[in-house]
Amino acid sequence: MNAHITGTGRFIPPDILTNQDLSRMVDTSDEWIASRTGIRTRHIARDMSACDMGEAAARAALDTAGLSPADIGLVVVSTTTPDRPLPSLACDLQLRLGLENAFCFDIGAACSGFIYALDIAALYLRTGGVTHALVVCAEKLSAITDYTDRRTCVLFGDGAGAVVLSAADKPGGLLASYLAARGDGGAALHCAPGGCIQMEGQEVYKFAVRAMPEAIEKTLAKAGRNVTELDFIIPHQANIRIIQSVMHRYGLPPDKVAITIDRYGNTSSASIPIALDELAREGRLRPGALLLMTGFGAGLTYGATLFEWSV
Ligand code: UT7
């Protein structure tokens, strides 16, 4: 059995926070934010919870997969901002969506959460225990952002992305993945209970430009594939300069690299599935397309996964 992505969905909250808005809140400017990060706008979930956003993204993914809630056997949610400590956001989604045949849990891998969650779900599909799994990344980073700290508040946005993974006895789907963590770097990006995100930006930056190439190369090597064979790469959207460093390193042209950071900012683990859903709905992912997704984040965690698109 191979694990294939059979549906995608996203939800972006309607309220927009622009660089101009932020420049009225802290000592910053559109020029600084755009040139240092590539971000122009981010969306904020004013009256919505992570669960509300995750529900909308999950409904869209189920719809594109053509499945009913009862078909789902597993729900894995990645979130840094669950609505409450207990029960898990995955169980709340089960109730809201009527996913009566699923077992459900959340994982904590911060911005690498989609890469981690996909791999975990795929393991259950490959061993035959589950036929369809729902992976949901729902992030309300505005709830843990300090809007008096210019070093972090310009970076983050809210949103959710989801995919349905289905087991099928045909080639393609998930070809290889590589997950890693470096707990000794965890102090560079953290959040205390009830507090806001604290970040040593340059430390995380240096980590990211090493970690993503390592994850890309290890994943491609496992699959026996080469970077020149890739049709698309979806990097975690944290800073356009980090993405560009990966593009330059491998000579990737802009049309092969998904970029949403200008519109949505950093939506943590939701950034990759949101970009994936955009590519899929624009009809740019043809069957056979080779797609690599790679992320990094608090932990510090990082990883990559390689898919052959099959729907
Ligand atoms: O999802 C994973 C999470 N995070 C990341 O991936 C973040 C990785 N890091 C980064 O993206 C970048 O390090 C930042 C965008 C966070 C910061 O950019 P930088 O080029 O590394 O700036 P810096 O921290 O070296 O700061 C340069 C200057 C400082 O002023 P001084 O000390 O040189 O006078 C900062 O105080 O820029 C100042 N600064 C700002 N100025 C205007 C920091 N934030 C701002 C701001 N507006 N918003």
Q: Which of 2, 51, 236, 239 is catalytic?
A: 236
Tell me: the pLDDT tens digits for 72-89?
A: 999 999 999 999 999 999
Residue 200 CA to ligand 1 center (angstroms) comes to 9
Mean pLDDT value across the chain: 97
19 is catalytic: no
Which residue's CA is the closest to the ligand 1 atom numbered 16?
201
Cβ–ligand 1 distance for 36 under 6 Å, the answer: yes
- Could you confirm whether 236 is annotated as catalytic? yes
Going by alpha carbons, the residue nearest to atom 25 of ligand 1 is 202
Contact predicate 2/169, CB 8 Å: yes
Ligand 1 center to residue 151 CA distance, Å?
6
Nearest residue to 215 via CA among 106, 303, 295:
303
In total, the chain counts a number of residues equal to 311
Q: Which CATH number fits domain 2-168: 3.40.47.10, 3.30.70.260, 3.40.1390.30, 3.40.630.30?
A: 3.40.47.10
The residue from 51, 111, 153, 191 that is catalytic is: 111
The answer to whether the CB of 191 is under 6 A from ligand 1 is no
According to DSSP, the residues that pair with 11 across neighbouring strands are: 160
**184-202: average pLDDT:** 97
Question: What residue ranges do the domains of the chain occupy?
Answer: 2-168, 173-308
Q: Is residue 28 over pLDDT 90?
A: yes
* CATH of the domain spanning 173-308: 3.40.47.10
Residue range 112-116: average pLDDT?
98
- Amino acid at site 153: C
- Average pLDDT in the 115-133 region? 95
pLDDT exceeds cutoff 90 at 128: no
Whether 241 lines ligand 1, by a CB cut-off of 6 Å, is no
pLDDT tens digits, one per residue of 145-186: 999 999 999 999 999 999 999 999 999 999 999 999 999 999
Q: pLDDT tier at 298 (50, 70, 90 boundaries)?
A: very high
CA–CA dist 243, 63 (Å, integer): 31
Residue 311 pLDDT grade (very low, low, confident, very high; cuts 50, 70, 90): confident
Q: Is there a catalytic annotation at residue 266?
A: yes
Position in ligand 1 atom list of the atom nearest CA 204: 8
- Which run of H or E residues covers position 196? none
Whether ligand 1 lies within 6 angstroms of the CB of 219 is answered as: no
CB atoms within 10 A of CB 244: 17
Q: What is the largest CA-CA distance in the chain?
A: 56
CA of residue 102 to ligand 1 center, whole Å:
42
Which of ligand 1's atoms lies nearest the C-alpha of 37?
15
Residue 52 reports pLDDT greater than 90: yes
State residue 147's pLDDT score: 98
Does the CB atom of residue 147 touch ligand 1 within 6 A? no
CA distances from 237 to 70, 71, 140, 271 (A): 33, 32, 15, 6
CA quadruple 126, 310, 163, 221: dihedral positive or negative?
Answer: positive
This prediction has a pTM of: 0.97
* Ligand 1 in reach of 202 Cβ (< 6 A): yes
**Fold matches, 2-168 and 173-308:** yes
User: Which of 21, 151, 182 for mutating ligand 1's site (highest number of atoms within 8 Å of CB)?
Assistant: 151
Which among 21, 115, 202 is the best mutation to test ligand 1's pocket, defined by most ligand atoms within 8 Å of the CB? 202
